[in-house]
Structure 1
Amino acid sequence: MRAAIYRSFGGPVSIEEIDDPPCPPHGVIVAVGSTGLCRSDWHGWQGHDPDIPLPNVPGHELAGTVVEVGPDVRNWAVGARVTVPFVCACGECAACARGDQQVCERQTQPGFTHHGSFAERVALDHADVNLVAVPDAVDLDTAASLGCRFATAYRAVVQVADVRAGQRVAVHGCGGVGLSAVMIAAARGAHVVAVDPSERSRARAVELGAAQTCSDADGVTEMDVSIDAFGAPTTMRASLGCLRPRGRHVQVGLLGADDTPPVPMGAVIARELQILGSHGMAAHTYPAMLAEIADGTLRPQDLVRETIGLDEAPARLMALGEPSAGVGGVTVVRVAAIIGS
Structure 2
Amino acid sequence: MKATCWMGRNTVEVRNVPDPGIVNARDAVVRVTSTAICGSDLHLYDGYVPTMKKGDILGHEFMGEVVEVGPQVRNLRVGDRVVVPFPIACGNCLSCQNGMYSVCENSNPNAGVAERLMGHSPAGIFGYSHMLGGYAGGQAEYARVPFADVGPIKVEDGLPDEKVLFLSDILPTGWMGAEMCDIKPGDVIAIWGAGPVGQLAAVSARLMGAERVICIDRLPYRLHHAERAGAETLNYEEVDVLEALQDMTAGRGPDACIDAVGMEAHHGNPAMYAYDRTKQATRLETDRPYALRQAILACRNGGTVSVIGVYGGFVDKFPMGAIMNRSLTLRAGQCHVQRYMRPLMDRIRHGDIDPSFVISHRMRLEDAPHAYEMFKNKENECNKVVLTT
**Bigger Cα displacement from structure 2, 324-333 vs 242-251:** 324-333
Aligned pairs for 1:27-46 (under 5 A) are 27-46=27-46
Corresponding residue number in structure 2 for 1:339: none
Which stretch has the larger CA shift, 58-67 or 258-267? 258-267
Alpha-carbon deviation of 1:135? 4.3
Determine if the alignment matches structure 1 residue 247 to structure 2 residue 303: yes
Tell which deviates more after alignment, 112-121 or 326-335.
Answer: 326-335
Q: Deviations over 1:246-292 (max 9, x none)?
A: 11111111245x74232111111111011111212231432221121
Alignment partner, residue 168 of structure 1: 188
Q: TM-score, normalised by structure 1?
A: 0.91
Counterpart-to-counterpart distance in 2, 1:150 and 1:284: 12
Return the alpha-carbon distance in structure 1 between the equivalents of residues 158 and 191 of structure 2: 29
Structure 1: 5+ residue stretches without partners: 336-341
Q: Identify which of 299, 310, 314 aligns with 2:365.
A: 310
Q: 252, 260, 275: which one pairs with 2:330?
A: 275
1:224-235 equivalence runs, <5 A = 224-231=255-262, 232=265, 233-235=289-291
Partner of 2:139: 118
Amino acid at match of 2:217: D
Aligned to 2:174: 153
Of the three residues 116, 137, 150, the one matched with 1:129 is: 150
Kindly provide the amino acid, as one letter, of the partner of residue 301 in structure 2.
P
- Residue 11 of structure 1 and its aligned partner are, at CA, apart by 5.7
What is the rounded CA distance, in whole Å, between the counterparts of 1:153 and 1:325 in structure 2?
Answer: 24
Contact 1:13 1:314 in 2 (8 A): yes
Q: Counterpart in 1 of 2:58?
A: 58
Contact 1:168 1:224 in 2 (8 A): yes
**Pairwise mapping of residues 177-326 of structure 1 onto structure 2 (< 5 A)?**
177-190=197-210, 191-210=212-231, 212-216=232-236, 217-218=241-242, 219-221=244-246, 222-231=253-262, 232=265, 233-255=289-311, 259-322=314-377, 324=378
SS in 1 for 2:303: strand
The structure having more radius of gyration, on CA atoms, is 2
SS at match of 1:155: helix
The letter for the 1-side match of 2:383 is G
Q: Secondary structure at the match of 1:244?
A: coil
Q: Which structure 2 residue ranges, 5 or more long, are not aligned? A: 108-122, 129-133, 247-252, 266-288
Deviation at 1:328, TM superposition (A): 6.3
Determine helix, strand or coil for the equivalent of 1:129. Answer: coil
Q: CA deviation at 1:142?
A: 2.9
Structure 2 distance, partners of 1:91, 1:140, is 26
Q: Which residue of 1 aligns with 2:19?
A: 20
Q: CA deviation at 1:44?
A: 2.1
Structure 1 residues 9-56: Cα deviation after superposition (integer angstroms, max 9, x where no partner): 316321221110122321111110111111222212333332334420
What amino acid is aligned across from residue 176 of structure 1 in structure 2? P
CA contact (8 A) 2:167 2:345 kept: no
Equivalence for 2:120: none
1:108, CA displacement in angstroms? 2.4
C-alpha distance in 2 between matches for 1:13 and 1:33: 20
Alignment of 1:49-88 (within 5 A): 49-88=49-88
Partner Cα separation in structure 1 for residue 181 and residue 56 of structure 2: 34
- Structure 1 residues 297, 82: closer, same or farther in 2, change over 3 A? same
Q: Once superposed, what is the RMSD of the aligned Cα atoms?
A: 1.9
Indicate the SS of the match to 2:172. helix
| Higher RCO (C-alpha 8 Å, min separation 6) | 1
User: Do the aligned partners of 2:10 and 2:47 also contact (CA within 8 Å) in 1?
Assistant: no
For the structure 1 residues 72 and 334, does the alpha-carbon distance in structure 2 shift closer, same or farther, using more than 3 Å as the test? Answer: same
Deviations 1:135-191 (A, max 9, x none): 424211232222111111111112x22223321100111111011111111222311
Stretch moving more, 241-250 or 37-46: 37-46
Q: 1:313 and 1:70 mapped to 2: Cα distance?
A: 30
